[in-house]
Structure formats: structure tokens, C-alpha cells
Structure 1
Amino acid sequence: MEHSVLDSCQLTTHTDTANVRIVSQSSQNPAVYPTITAAVQAAVSGDTILIQPGMYHESLVIDKAVSLIGTGTLTDVVIDVVDGPCLSLQAHGIHIEGLSLRSHFVFPPDHSDATCIALGLTEIVGCDLSSPSATCLLVSGPEAVVTVRRCQIHDSQAYGVLVDLVGTCNIEHSVIQDHARADVAVLQNSTVSLLDCTLCHGAGYGVLVKDCSQGRLRHCDIYGHAEAGVLIAQGSVADIVLCTIHDGRGPGVVFCQDAHGLMEQCRVYRTTSSGVEIRQQSNPIIRQCKIFQGKWSGILIGERGNGIVEYCELFANAMAGIDVTGGSDPVIRFCRIHQHVYPGIAVFLGGRGTVVDCDLSKNMQGPLLVDAGSYIMQERNHS
């Protein structure tokens, strides 16, 4: 393996500036670097550093536009570090591929500790990131724009991916799982985009978007979390399209604290709490979604929540299809709400709303329950 790679690449000496450099712990070739650190120090922008299989105990600072590429399978090249990041990426144009990155912190880590810290324009492809005690990937600052593709990010006691301080992260075709706080967290005016990703089995949230941040989720499978599968809070905005959120111990999707956004063509099912919650003056659009087999309400709108629910189907949830409470005032239209033991829509504790052109038939306690002090305006509903 080593012979073929060395023969097929243009090697460099420690003094020239050709574009390929080889790192190997076993080679006796003087043109091959014994450590990744040595290769990075000798490299110039535009260089590619090929890393041969091995366990490398190096905490690397990358401050030039180079590519680090592991050879062999994903588990062949491992960067393993105690009490520090494996990679600190501090330049634009960095490409990381085919590496396993593992950090171990003996002392409890702080907010900034992570396996990989990205501060510039970076691409991370086909890597495995894990940390038993810290965040796996931290994307921080307005200069940080990171693209993650085909990665496995798993097993941290903090966040899988944390994007903060106006950072941007685009994650595609990746699996993010088994994190204590959130698989993906987006804080402090930051932005995340998730495409064709699986997020699962976390002890916290699947996706947490707060502090006036933005989230875009497409074709994601989100399941098995102790908290909400997706939580949007504190003036944040999220578009959640063609996603499946299911089998969590908390609610499926929560909009709270003046959150906004669009949830469209999603399936939410078998959640222990409500499928969707809209609370605290939040005002999203829920469109063409199926919400079913939850152990509480299909949709709970409370604490002066608003929003539009349209063209949705809600069925076989343990409580009402939609609960409206606490001064909330949604618009519900063109929905089919059926197969509930409780009413299709229950309005109480000063709830209000508008229900138009909905099919509310086949609910055991009737189509609508409106208690004293609450009010629903309804037109052209079938019951």
C-alpha cells in the first residue's frame, strides 16, 4: 500500500514546494514526513498532504489553504489527542478528508473545547469525529463557513456540531448521533443547513436553533431523542421540509419564544409528547404535514402561540388532534383531523382561533370542544 502511494505521487523534500507531501510513521524515505505537523509546517497554500495509516497523537493548527487526506479506509488514519483539539482550522480553503478524529479531555471541557475547531472557510468530507467529553465540531465566528459531507459525528458529552457567533455550517449526507446536549446546536445569530442527514439517539435535542439563528432542514430523519427532535427558540427562524421526526421521548418539533418558520411535507409520529408545539408568541406555518400516533396532542398551541396549520392530516394521537390554549389564536384550514379518542380540536383556557374547510369527522368525542371563555370562528367544516 505504501509503495503504490509513494510511486504514484510527486514527492517533496523538506525544502521544495511541490504540491503533494506524504506522511508516514514507518517509511524510511527522506522525502516522507514522519509527522503531520512537520508536513503542515513545510507546506504552502495549495499543497495536498497524504497521510498513511496510523495513530497520530498530534494537535494540529492549520493556518494555510492545504488539503489533509487520509489514505486507506476511514479507520486507518486516526488523530487521537488528549486535552486539546485534533484540528484547529484557521484559514480559508482548507480541505479535510478520510480522517478519524478523537479528542479526550481529562478535565471537564469548557464551551470552546472540541475535537475539531473551524474558524475559516473549510470542507470536511468522509471523516469520523467523536469525543467522549467535548463537542465534536465547533464552527465559530463570522469568517467560519464550513461544509460537512458524508461524515459520522458521534458520542460526545456536549454537541455533535455547535455553530455559534455568526458561524455558518452546511451538513450533507451525514450521520450525527448519541450526543448529550444536542446533535446540532445553532446559537448566536448563526446559520445551519442540513440535507439528507440522520440525527438520532441523543440524550438532548436533535436540532437546537436559538438566539436569532437560522436553520434549514431538508430530507432529514430525526429520531430517538430525549428532548425535542427540533427546537426553534428566541426569535429564530427555521424551514423544515420533507423531514421525518419520530420516536422521541419529547415533542417532535417546538417553536417557542417568538420563533418563526415553515414546516412542510413532514411526517411526525410516535412522539411521547405532542407532535408539534407552538408557544410563546411563535408564528410558524405548518403545511401538508402528517402528524400521527403520538402519545399526547398532535399539535399543541399554547401560551399565546399563533401560526397557520393548513393541508395537514392528523390522526390517531392519544389526546386531541389540535389543542389550543392560553390565549393562542391560530388559523386552521383545509386539514383532515380524525381517529382521536378526544375531540378533533379542543379549545380551552382562553384559546381562540379560526377553523375553515376542515374534515373533523371520526373523532370519538366529536369534532370540536370549546370551553367557557374560549372562542372558535368556524366555516364550512365537515363533522
Structure 2
Amino acid sequence: MCSSNDHRQANIRRLRLLGFGILCVPLLAVSSLAAETIRVPEQHKTIQAAVDASQAGDTILVAPGTYKERIKLKAGLILKSTGDDTKGTLGLKRAEATIIDGGGEQGEGAGVTMAQRSTLDGFTVTNVGVYDDAKWNKHHATHGEQQSHEHIGAPGTAGIGVIGVTCAVTNNIVHHIGYTGIAIQSAPSKRCSPHIYRNITYRNMGGGIGSMQKSTAIIEENICFQNFYAGIGHDDASPTVINNTCYENIRAGIGISEGSHALVRGNKCYHNRRAGIGVRTGGETRPIIENNECYENDMAGIGTREEAAPLIRNNRCYKNKLAGIGSRTHATPTIVGNECFENGQSGIGQQSDAVTMLINNFCHHNKASGIGFAPCKAGRSTLINNRIIDNARVAVGVNGGWTVRLVGNELSRKGGMPPIMMVFNGSEVTLTDNIIRGGGVAGIRVAGKIRAENNEFAGTSLRKVGPPNFGVWALPGSDVTLIANKFHHWRHALQASEATVLATRNKISDFHGTALVIQNAKVPANVFDNTAISANPKDKVVSISGETGMMQGNLLHKPAD
């Protein structure tokens, strides 16, 4: 049997016979012509022995079998299992049949350590370090709530290690590793951009794939499931993460933290024990999360917290147990053009002093609110041009501690008794150029403070008797300013009791009896220059009991012919 060195010498002799002086042949051409295919176990019993005998440009083909070793590749080397790309039970058949067994606690280094410009194609890598099934089951049962908060950049021994090199890792299956399945990080002063493509990672005691320490990998079309942390995790890295599938991981399907600026696009994240995609730890964590599908996760579809500042756009988040998109603990996301529906709580939910910008989202058929704001100390949000349709309770619910501005939104519900919008005590809401449409007890039921200007309150089922049916229902202690709004098909445009009221230049039609009703005013109610339209001359524009202030210019008009 000839050695690889014998093959190289034969190539050199052939060049001489053809009349080429070896010293005159460009080095690149010699390297290309001298590239060899080395076979394991025919020529070398172990993979590492074949690697040691190889040089850049060589291809090592490995026959099916179990190889109990850990591999350290050389630069420019291709390591590939034999066979074609026929599908097997989980991955490719050749990957399932060609196994690198790292020996558990025995041995040093990753199962496979990649080198610059090297390729690893079509292997199963397993049994590197200690996989702990009891620990996995414990934390799966508790949604990872009792896991340590050690970030994925902590030291460990990976199934496949990509440290400071640009390389290709493709068609591999990595499972039952005591740490992260595929770990990527840049070396000091040397960033790497490997291509991690069509691998399967599962049941690893870290993440399925971990992108760390300034690396800029392309992580594409991988399947990551049942990993101890995230399916794909980021720690101070900026990879491109596209078209992956992440499910049943103990934490998020995709986790982004510690200053990462990842581009996360076109992924499917479902049935994860926490969020489908989770973003956290600091204002320098600024990923772009777009065109992903996050569904049936045990927490939010996409969740952001701890001052993180992602751009979340054009995603579909549905049937998650909590919010479709959730923000908390001082997170500052910009949330644009997403569709959130049939989630267990809000379509988009905010809590604990988040600061959010919500633009052009479509939130419908969620089991609580379309957009919800849970009680906090000092949260802020701006809502622009969102459609918030047919949610089970309210379109928008604003609890105490929030300052919220709504511009150009559509809030509506076809049936049901709850108000379209609820503004709780301790909150402050400004509404401009919105349409609030539906029935129920009110367009807006307010216990806090609102200023509404140039909005349309469109009732759909005027009730003259029975449960309340008011455009704005102002509860005791509330503060209501209504300027230049249109109200129609409500029993009263305003029903206020023991509230502070200013109402001017509003236009009210299709009401019953009195357009603006203010009872037991404790401070002067200022109601002036409003117009009510009714064919019944007995109808009134305004009725006030208690303290009155400015009352001029309120007019009752007949409808136009």
C-alpha cells in the first residue's frame, strides 16, 4: 500500500517526465496538483494519524464506523465521511454512520478542533465531557429557572471547537456533549467567520451552537433541539443566524446576550421551555431580529429584558403561552411590523420599566390584550400605526406607572363587554389620530389620566339601556382631556363621575339623550365649543352636576338632509 508521500513523489516524477522543471512551476500549482485523497481506515487506522500525514489541500475520506479519538485538524484540510447526501433518520446517513467518540472524561480538547480553512463534513461527534441526564431533566422540568446565570462564554470543552479560525462545519450531528455542541469564538486580535451549515445539535450540556467573543460566523440551516441552554446562543458576538430550526431547548431557542449584535433572520423557534428568541444583558446587546417564526413556546415568542435594545421586525409570534413579544426590566426594543396572534396573554406585552417603540404591528385574537402594559414604576412607550383587532379582553391595557403615547392606531373588537382600551390609575396616556371601534362598556375606560385629540370613537352597537356603553368612561379620580374628537354610536360620548374633565371641539352623533354626562365634579369641569348632532330637540349636548367651569359654545345641531 502506498503512502501519501509516495503519491506526492510520483506526481513530481510525472511533472519531470512532462518536461517541467519543478523550480519553475508556481508553488500554488504544485500545491493544487499535489493534493491527495487519504482514506481511513484503509491507509491509516485512525483519523488523527491521517490528519498528521496530510497537508493543506488534502481530503481525508473516513469510512463508516466508530472512531474513539479526538481530532485536531490542520489548515486547509477537508475531513469528510464517505457516501452521498442520502437522508437518514436524523441527518445524513453517512453522518449517522461515521462517529467520533470523544471518550467521555478521557482525553483533552474538543471532539474536533477546527483549523484555518479546514472543513468538517458529515460526522457524528459525541461523548466529549460528561452529559448529565438527571441534571438535564431537572432543569427541563423547572423551565431553566434554577440554572446558573453563567454566560455561554464560560470555559468548557466543546464537541466541535472553532477558535479563531475561518472554516466550514457542515452536515454534522453533535450530541451528548458535556458543554456546548459547536463552540465558536475569535482568538485575541483575530476574528473568525466560519460557516456553520446544516448541522444537528441536541442534548448537549451547554448550547447547541455557541457564538462567542467577537466571532462573526454564518450559522445557517442548523437544527438545534433539547440543549441544556439555548439552541443557538450568543455572547459578545455578531453572527448571521439564518434559516435555523430551534425547538425544545431548556432556555430560548435562540439566546442573544452580552453585547451581541447578531442578525437573526428566517428562523423557526418553537416548543422551547422559555422564549423562542430571548435577548438580554445590557444596552450594548443590539441584535436585528427579523422574519422569524416563533410559536408555542412556554414563555414569549420573542422576549427582551435587562436594558437590551434589539430591533424586532416582521416576525410572526403566535400561540406562545405568554406574550407574542415581551419586554421587561428596562429593555428598550424597537418593535416594527410584527404579527402577534393567539398568544396566551398579550400580543405585545411590556412590564417592569421597559421603554418601547411599537410601529406598524398587527396584534389580533390574543387571549388577553392586543398590547399590554403591566404595572411598573416608570415605563414609557410610543405606539404608531398599529392594528390591534379582536383580542379577547382589551385592545390596549395600560396599568399604573406607564406613560404611553398612541398615534394613528386602529383599536377594535367586534363583540364582548370589556372596554376597547383600559387606562388604570397611575398611568398617563396621550392619544392622537387613532380610531377606537367596537361595542362593550366603553371605547376607553379610564381611571388614570388621558389626553385624546383628533381621534374617532366609532361605536358599533348603541345600547340605550342596560350595561354601560360610553365612548369614554371616566372613573372617580381620573383626569380626562378630550379635544376635537369624533364620537358616534355610543350612549354617551363621555360619562364621568368625580373626575377632572376638559372637553372642547368634539363632535358627537348617534347618541342617546345627552352627549356628555359629568356627575359629581369635584373640580370645575370645562366643557365648551362641542357640537352634538341629533334630530331630537330634547337631546342635550352636556349635563353637569357639581363644580362647573367654562360652559360656552356647546351646540345641538340637526342632522344634515
**Contact 1:55–1:78 at 8 Å: present in 2 too?**
no
When the two structures are aligned, how many residues end up with a matched partner? 336
Do residues 176 (structure 1) and 172 (structure 2) align?
no
SS at match of 2:251: coil
**Contact 1:275–1:299 at 8 Å: present in 2 too?**
yes
Task: Calculate the aligned-residue CA RMSD, in Å.
Answer: 2.5
Q: CA deviation at 1:114?
A: 1.5
SS at match of 1:375: strand
Q: CA deviation at 1:45?
A: 7.1
Do residues 93 (structure 1) and 76 (structure 2) align?
yes
CA gap 1:287/1:114 in 2 versus in 1, 3 angstroms? same
Q: Alpha-carbon deviations, 1:257-281, whole Å to 9, x = none?
A: 2311211111100111111111122
Q: CA deviation at 1:192?
A: 2.3
**Contact 1:165–1:187 at 8 Å: present in 2 too?**
yes
Match of 1:49 among 29, 38, 43: 38
Do residues 113 (structure 1) and 109 (structure 2) align?
yes
How far apart, CA to CA, are the structure 2 residues paired with 1:14 and 1:151? 26
How far apart, CA to CA, are the structure 2 residues paired with 1:292 and 1:53? 53
**Contact 2:76–2:115 at 8 Å: present in 1 too?**
no
More helix by share: 2
Do residues 246 (structure 1) and 241 (structure 2) align?
no
1:270 corresponds to which letter in structure 2? E
Residue 381 of structure 1: aligned partner: 409
Residue 229 of structure 2: aligned partner: 204
Residue 263 of structure 1: aligned partner: 289
User: After the TM superposition, which residues 99-248 of structure 1 pair with which residues of structure 2 at under 5 Å, given as runs?
Assistant: 99-106=98-105, 113-131=109-127, 133=129, 135-141=158-164, 144-166=165-187, 167-210=192-235, 212-248=236-272
Q: CA deviation at 1:229?
A: 0.9
Q: CA deviation at 1:336?
A: 1.0
TM-score normalised over the length of structure 1 = 0.81
Q: CA deviation at 1:59?
A: 4.9
Q: Alpha-carbon deviations, 1:236-260, whole Å to 9, x = none?
A: 1111111110011111111112311
Q: Percent identical across equivalent pairs?
A: 16
Q: CA deviation at 1:373?
A: 2.2
SS at match of 2:167: strand
User: After the TM superposition, which residues 267-286 of structure 1 pair with which residues of structure 2 at under 5 Å, given as runs?
Assistant: 267-286=293-312
CA gap 1:215/1:155 in 2 versus in 1, 3 angstroms? same
Q: Alpha-carbon deviations, 1:132-152, whole Å to 9, x = none?
A: 5252101113xx112012222
**Contact 1:182–1:205 at 8 Å: present in 2 too?**
yes
Residue 62 of structure 2: aligned partner: 70
SS at match of 1:16: helix
CA gap 1:331/1:57 in 2 versus in 1, 3 angstroms? same
How far apart, CA to CA, are the structure 2 residues paired with 1:55 and 1:155? 27
Runs of at least 5 residues in structure 1 that lack an aligned partner in the other structure: 1-10, 21-43
Residue 24 of structure 1: aligned partner: none
Residue 535 of structure 2: aligned partner: none
**Contact 2:4–2:38 at 8 Å: present in 1 too?**
no
How far apart, CA to CA, are the structure 2 residues paired with 1:54 and 1:200? 37
**Contact 2:4–2:36 at 8 Å: present in 1 too?**
no
Residue 8 of structure 2: aligned partner: 18
Runs of at least 5 residues in structure 2 that lack an aligned partner in the other structure: 11-32, 82-97, 130-156, 412-561
CA gap 1:19/1:189 in 2 versus in 1, 3 angstroms? farther
Q: CA deviation at 1:56?
A: 4.7
Q: Alpha-carbon deviations, 1:40-78, whole Å to 9, x = none?
A: xxxx9733212247995665564731321124xxxx243
How far apart, CA to CA, are the structure 1 residues paired with 2:34 and 2:168? 19
SS at match of 1:157: coil
How far apart, CA to CA, are the structure 1 residues paired with 2:229 and 2:205? 5
Match of 1:362 among 390, 395, 403: 390
Do residues 324 (structure 1) and 350 (structure 2) align?
yes
CA gap 1:13/1:161 in 2 versus in 1, 3 angstroms? closer
How far apart, CA to CA, are the structure 2 residues paired with 1:230 and 1:218? 11
